[in-house]
Amino acid sequence: MVRNLSVMCSIALFAVLMCAMPMGAHAEDNEQSAASQATVQVTGMDSVLSTTSNDQSDGGQSVELLSVDGAKGESIYVEITQDGKTIASHLSYTLGDNQTAQSNNEGTQYSGVVTCSIKDFDPSKATYEVKAYTDRDQTQLRYDGKIQGVYAQLGEAQGSAQQLIAVRTIGDNDKGRVFHEPETITTNGATFTTTGQQLSSNPLTYIYKEDASASTLTGSITYIDDSGTVLRTETIEGITASQSQTRQIPQVITASGEPSKNATYYRTVSYNSTVEATYTGTKDFTIHCKPLTAGSDTANAQYYFASIKFVDGQGNVLAQDSLNVTKMYLYTLPDTLYLTDAQGTAHTYTLSAKNADVSKSANGANSLIAFNPFADQSKVENGERDVSVTYEEQPAFSQPWAVQLINGAADPSDTASRAIRTDSVPAGETYNVQQSIEIGGTTYVPVTSTKQSYAYDATVPVRTIYYVPEGYVKKDTYTVDVNYVNIATNEVLTTKQYTITPDSDEDMAITSPATFTQDGTQYVRLDGQDSPIMHGYFTKYRTYTVYYRDINDQRNQQTVITHLRVLYTDGTSTDGTDQGTTQLTPTTTDAGTNSNSGSTNGQTGTTSDGQTVGLNGNEDLNVVNSGDDAPVVNNEGTDTNTERIDDDETPLAAGNSQATPSSIAPIAAIIGMLIVAALVSLYVIKRKKHEQTDPQSASDAQDK
């Protein structure tokens, strides 16, 4: 049972570009703590509140407090006080071996954000202090800051009512951080527009004026970088009570006024390709951006963003991956897609032989697309290149199906150690489970819940069978988080936690409500998520995501969550970790000879120098399909481009971080990996990736 404290909090840490699989927190020894103390950086943040009515309900007011930067193996421990009383302590996280991040001359760097929901939160009546330490004993102080409110005076007349609209965490080292007040706010049915004037600096208060007579409102789209610097702003005109306005969000932008030949390209961070401005709802949006490349102007002009769409024979988008083409890449195409529809039935798609941009690897096993920033410029427009790859749907039960054998005793985060092999089962045949396997001189046997044989099940296109060493005894109890996420803003609305014990022989069926209400807003679960999440003791996942929409969000009314598994011809996972050389051979199709094979005469030589990347064949994946866009995301809600990193790339991020008059996502939300820390009160507000909590920290924060 969770203690009824006044704050719940999580540490949401994100890999700067590409996120990683969840893994458990590690105990800190003195040497590691000293290393953490040496380089980890903690700064304050700005958080525009998610509701200007300040309706906190039972969950409290969600605020984002700290930005964290550090290297692999570093830890932070966070303490929060209210009027001198500790309400959260020893919240810990260690960057682990299974994560990936930006590598540069200064080492591998990660970034993160500490997010809290504080009950009865009012910085005008209470003093809140946040401290971050580099050791669990909390003796090595890295950051000490206070939470300050930002207010709107609702009217130009002296003495007009004031409204809390944002929260800032300010320490000695970040007092110069720039704050951008929202252009408009709506509260109690009235709309107010900023005058651009400050009433006071302590507390920071802006003057807003009411425009009660206006029948037409104006909104905005503001593109910002990590520091909050505005790259460009676009105006949304013509918003009326009966007419909303929809605007396209490009995948790549350049800063306003920058000469095109020397332009720095920025990748926009958004699940949705459009935003909808409504009269009584969201009118102003902040889109977070990351530079596509770093380095010389010449390099910036050549590197580009690639969108790889998997389409069916009618051109419908089945799934969509993307890639930051900062050097030579060989994108490996899955041989087979298993896509489970909203009704829970898996459809099998195989790669068409009529794809003009596809070549074969030298051994003929895999199908590849070459991406070369130095030779592809004729295919790039405004920093983007779109590639569509056709897959053909196969009749039900006509294709072989797959069984993956997994080492259940291996670390859940260690994909390589867990994978034993993948067996292909001919269509219509039953798979008989092998009762023992020898691995490195050790005998492995199926776990006790395994059946003797399996027939093909259209709801489980890839069957997983777990093996453990003979005599293996399950040890640890652990928890699984299920995040309920607002699809429009990517905000984690609430988190449900489930305990998995060693005596759990059968899978746990984790269900989610079709609708729920929070902070006065009703949320509706997106289609495709009716079936329960089945989680067994040996399942590697520690975080799942269930997507919801505001009941008034018409933009996402037709968005469906589908489930994806991929298989490759040679049985590899093709998760982007292969740093070696892959040779291409020209392939002739009905569309002609592949233009991507052979010599590229680019700065890096031939296509054989390319790094292989692709979707992970060892993962259960989800597709957020809105009809026009269908990004592939993992169970933690992170898109596949964000999971992928190259040593030469500049950090990028993914996930939607739209900001509205009543909900402007903080800058750190653009970085995309959520990991779990400690649950201190009612529910956990997180973004993206998930990591396990330090067991000792968990015991500090909650009753089991």
* Burial status of residue 26 (CB atoms within 10 A of its CB: 0-12, 13-18, 19 or more): middle
pLDDT bracket for residue 191 (50, 70, 90): confident
Q: Is 107 left (phi over 0), alpha (psi -120 to 50) or beta?
A: left
Which of 163, 182, 190, 186 minimizes the C-alpha distance to 54? 163
Q: How many Å apart are CA 336 and CA 565, to the nearest integer?
A: 8
Contact predicate 284/661, CB 8 Å: yes
Structure-block tokens of residue 226: 């990590």
For residue 336, which phi and psi values (nearest 5 degrees)? Answer: -135, 135
pLDDT bracket for residue 569 (50, 70, 90): confident
pLDDT bracket for residue 438 (50, 70, 90): very high
Contact predicate 389/311, CB 8 Å: yes
Mean pLDDT, residues 184-188 taken together: 77
Q: How many Å apart are CA 670 and CA 598, to the nearest integer?
A: 38
Mean pLDDT, residues 655-663 taken together: 27
Contacts of 99 (CB under 8 A, 6+ apart): 15, 19, 20, 21, 23, 72, 110, 673
Report the share of the chain in percent with pLDDT over 70: 70
Contact predicate 511/532, CB 8 Å: yes
Q: How many Å apart are CA 215 and CA 239, to the nearest integer?
A: 8
Structural element, H or E, at residue 154: strand 141-154
Lowest mean pLDDT segment, chosen from 85-89, 117-121, 683-687: 683-687
Q: How many Å apart are CA 345 and CA 350, to the nearest integer?
A: 17
pLDDT of amino acid 654: 28
Question: Could you tell me which residues are beta bridge partners of residue 330?
Answer: 370, 612
Which of 308, 307, 310 minimizes the C-alpha distance to 339? 310
Q: Is the pTM of this model over 0.85?
A: no
Question: Could you tell me which residues are beta bridge partners of residue 7?
Answer: 118
pLDDT bracket for residue 535 (50, 70, 90): very high
Q: How many Å apart are CA 379 and CA 476, to the nearest integer?
A: 53
Structural element, H or E, at residue 34: helix 30-39
pLDDT over 50 (residue 12)? no
Structure-block tokens of residue 138: 């909390």
Q: Which residue has tokens 């009012």?
A: 122
**Average pLDDT over the chain, rounded to whole?**
73
pLDDT of amino acid 454: 94
Within 13 A of 452's CA, how many CA atoms are on the CB side?
A: 0
Q: How many residues does the chain have?
A: 704
Mean pLDDT, residues 154-172 taken together: 88
pLDDT in tens, 460-515: 888 999 999 999 999 889 999 999 998 887 788 999 999 999 987 889 999 999 99
Structure-block tokens of residue 358: 């596809």
Rounded alpha-carbon distances, angstroms, from residue 149 to 7, 46, 128, 201? 17, 10, 10, 11
Report the share of the chain in percent with pLDDT over 90: 25
Q: How many Å apart are CA 139 and CA 556, to the nearest integer?
A: 48
pLDDT of amino acid 609: 54
